[in-house]
Chains A and B, each alone.
Chain A
């Protein structure tokens, strides 16, 4: 165990963990991306995977999603071992992954369409989540008619629409400009509050992580291991602008930066 693991907080009880990661390792040929990762993701919380770029946080998220096979170890969702994608998990892609030939409506309803749900039913569900992400009125637009931020809202609505318990977000805001990103983060917090789902969020932005997360898992550089788990002491009942000026918020950002600094060259 490395020195930094000493600061790991006591893990929550297993029954409250929606997702358990046990001894996950991943090698790409000679490159060791992840080395025996053990993590619990508590139910109903937003946990962020944060680490230096190229540390394998997206790889870990895709392993949880069932999109990538780990070299060893296993992931359990609600106690069941993951062998591939499943209905209890939904993924939000970094590059949005929207079908350019389909309208916002069809894109949002696509997960339901694949399940064979009837058109009227899936469209009424999709319409609800299009409204939730603030895109009412854009149902019949095509992705290329939307801004980057709006496209990712479509991706988020699509993930919400399948009513999965666990939402996996892979750097969802990295292709979104700074101003839209702030607004989007605020909306995400509101949705986290409202939807009561388990969120696993990958980002390389420390501020973003501290702003949106209940828990932050710091990963070390490759081969990646869990170096620290931080629970930001931020009062989320305050307004977004107050949070960003909150002393707890600023201290946590600083703490994480001190932890990550030595990985940056």
Chain B
């Protein structure tokens, strides 16, 4: 083995969903060496597969890399992300604020749970991609429609994670706080929310990953703008290396964002996880 100490954060919270997240977990759980080896192997297989070639529409790794660098230098990637990230950031900010608040309220109050939980349970299991054309129908093809696509995909998982986390707060710690005459407010602020924060954050990470899916879907299905347009355009003119570079850039951006979110959580919310 390249390294004998693999002591990343232990989380028994959620199985990863989708490419971006599983890569994100790989990145944060292993030391840098094994990451590089694993990525290098993947790129090698890609290069070989591209040279065989398995399809004429499948570029080699090096072609994709050079297309990526070109797009980076001519500014087309930055321009595309400029318009892609806008609905994503707005949508995630709204989903995060509303979702975490709603989740905590639902976790604390049976009435709120009764009112709101069924809606989000249905929303989470619904095939959201199928609803995106409906959004266009109502909200047109502008920023609002794309933001809404992000929210629709991101919000349910954030809400439900927050709700489950709060509902399953360690009863022994809650009793401890009560036995030392903690007020209800202290109980929520000092026990329930810190105890729930890993699962709330897992929800935010899953929500962010879902938000990326939402914004890309919106750009592919609603308005050809941003990175979705870049993919569509290069596909239509058969620039397969550029098309793959755009796809890879999405994975890269979502992975880095998720890793940053996890690093933030480690630093701010769970100081004890920083040490082995």
Classify the interface of chain B: helix, strand, loop or mixed: helix
User: How distant is B236 from chain A, measured CB to nearest CB, in Å?
Assistant: 52
- Bound together, the chains give a CA A238 to CA B139 distance in angstroms of 84
Is A144 positioned at the interface, with any CB of B under 8 Å from its CB? Answer: yes
Interface centre among B172, B181, B183, B194 (most CB of A within 10 A): B181
State which residues 61-104 of B face A: CB under 8 Å: none
- CA A234 – CA B269 in complex, angstroms? 50
Q: Which of A87, A93, A143 has most chain B Cβ within 10 Å? A: A93
Q: Does B7 have its Cβ within 8 Å of any Cβ on chain A?
A: no
In B154-209, the 8 Å CB interface with A consists of 172-173, 175-183, 186, 190-191, 194-195
Nearest-CB distance from B175 to chain A (Å)?
6
Interface residue ranges, B against A (CB under 8 Å)? 172-173, 175-183, 186, 190-191, 194-195, 269-272, 275
Apart from the given pairs A99-B195, A113-B190, 12 other A-B contacts in the complex at a CB distance below 8 Å? A85-B178, A85-B179, A93-B175, A97-B172, A99-B173, A99-B194, A101-B194, A101-B272, A110-B190, A114-B181, A114-B186, A162-B180
Contact A100 B272 (CB under 8 A): yes
Contacting residues, chain A, for B178 (C-beta < 8 A): 67, 85
Q: How far is the CA of A65 from the CA of B179 in the complex (A)?
A: 7
Given the interface pairs A99-B194, A101-B271, A142-B275, the reply to whether A90 lies near B180 with Cβ below 8 Å is: yes
Q: Which of A66, A99, A144 is the one whose CB lies under 8 Å from B191?
A: A99
User: Across the interface, which residues of A come within 8 angstroms of B181, CB to CB?
Assistant: 85-87, 114-115
Closest CB in chain A relative to B75 CB, distance in Å: 44
B167 to chain A, nearest CB (A): 19
Determine which of B172, B182, B191 lies in contact with A95 in the assembled complex, contact meaning CB atoms within 8 Å: B172
Which chain B residues border A87 with CB–CB below 8 Å?
181
Q: A110-144 CB contact bits vs B (8 Å, 1 = yes)?
A: 11011100000000000000000000000000111
Cα of A66 to Cα of B178 in the assembled complex, Å: 9
* Interface residue? A160 (CB, 8 A): no
Residues of B within 8 A of A66 (CB): 179
Of the listed residues A86, A97, A143, the one surrounded by the most CB atoms of chain B closer than 10 A to its CB is A97
Cross-chain contact B272 with A142 (CB below 8 angstroms): yes
Could you say which of A93, A101, A111 contacts B172, with CB atoms under 8 Å apart? Answer: A93
6 example contacts (A-B, Cβ-Cβ < 8 A) are as follows A91-B180, A101-B194, A101-B195, A110-B190, A114-B177, A142-B275
Name the A residues within 8 Å of B172 (CB-CB): 93, 95, 97
| Residues of chain A at interface, number, CB under 8 A | 28
Residues in A whose Cβ lies below 8 Å from that of B275: 142, 145
**A4-43 residues at the B interface, CB under 8 angstroms:** none
Residues of A within 8 A of B180 (CB): 85, 90-91, 110-111, 114, 158, 162
Query: A145 — which chain B residues lie within 8 A by C-beta?
Result: 275
Measured CB to CB, the closest approach of chain A to B25, in angstroms, equals 21
Q: Which residues of A contact B272 (CB under 8 A)?
A: 100-103, 142-144
Are A101 and B269 interface neighbours, CB within 8 A? yes
Which residues in A have their C-beta under 8 angstroms from that of B195?
Answer: 99, 101
CA gap between A103 and B176 in the complex, in Å: 16
Most B Cβ at <10 Å: residue of A65, A67, A110, A145: A110
- Smallest CB gap from A91: residue in B: B179
Residue among A67, A85, A101, A143 making CB contact with B270, cutoff 8 Å: A101
Residue among B172, B173, B176, B177 facing the most chain A CB atoms (10 A cut-off): B176
CA A66 – CA B41 in complex, angstroms? 61
The CA-CA distance from A101 to B177 in the complex, in Å, is: 15
- Give 5 closest A-B pairs by Cβ, nearest first: A142-B272, A97-B176, A111-B180, A91-B179, A114-B182
- Alpha-carbon distance between A95 and B176 when the two chains are bound, in angstroms: 11
- A93→B186 contact, CB < 8 A: no
B269 smallest CB distance to A (angstroms): 7
A91 near B176: Cβ-Cβ < 8 Å: yes
Bound-complex Cα distance A100 to B271 (A)? 10
A56-67 interface bits toward B, Cβ cutoff 8 Å, 1 = contact, 0 = none = 000000000111
Q: Which residue of A lies closest to B181 (CB)?
A: A85
Residues of B within 8 A of A95 (CB): 172
Instruction: Report how far A99 CA is from B177 CA in the complex, Å.
Output: 10
